[in-house]
Structure 1
Amino acid sequence: MFGKHRKIKKEYDEQLFTLIMETKKDWEQAKEIEKYLNDYDQDVIARRKITESKYFYLFKEAKGRRLGSD
């Protein structure tokens, strides 16, 4: 029974890690786009902040799940 639980946890941990890495990449791209804008674009800033929030939320979840420790 514990083997099945560990297998499921490992699968979800891998999915979470992949999602974190994708979100980090999206966040870095949003920062680059914002950096190259000449004017103040509310939409671009809002997208960057949303992506940043998603990244930190996922990071917090991974920390709570002790991602990578097993």
Structure 2
Amino acid sequence: MLFKKKYALRREYDAALLKLMTETKGKWEYSKRIEHSVIEKDSLLFAQTKLAKAKYFYLFKEAKKRNIKGDTSTLEFFK
């Protein structure tokens, strides 16, 4: 019984991590599009893009460490 609860909790947190990865990837893609479409280069915009990228790759490493497989290519956050 204890293992079933542990497995269910792990699945729940894995799903939450994948959802967070999808949202973070969407924010990163959106930041990249904004950065490429802006004529004047702004250091704050550049920093926000780098931060979004760093967040996504941190979550990616965590998912890899936890051996989570899933699809984060569906961008539901920004379309």
TM-score using structure 2 length = 0.84
Where does the alignment leave 5 or more consecutive residues of structure 1 unmatched?
Answer: none
Equivalent-residue separation in structure 1 for 2:12 and 2:67 (angstroms):
14
Partner of 1:29: 30
Identical pairs, percent:
43
Q: Is 1:64 matched with 2:53?
A: no
Normalized per residue, which structure has more helix? 1
Cα distance between partner residues in 2 of 1:35 and 1:50: 16
Match of 1:12 in 2: 13
The superposition leaves residues 30-67 of structure 1 with CA deviations (integer Å, 9 ceiling, x where unpaired) of 00000011112001000000000000000000000111
Deviates more, 1:25-34 or 1:59-68: 59-68
State the aligned residue count: 69
Deviating runs (4+, > 4 A) in structure 1? Answer: none
TM-score by length of 1: 0.94
- Compute the RMSD of aligned alpha carbons: 1.2
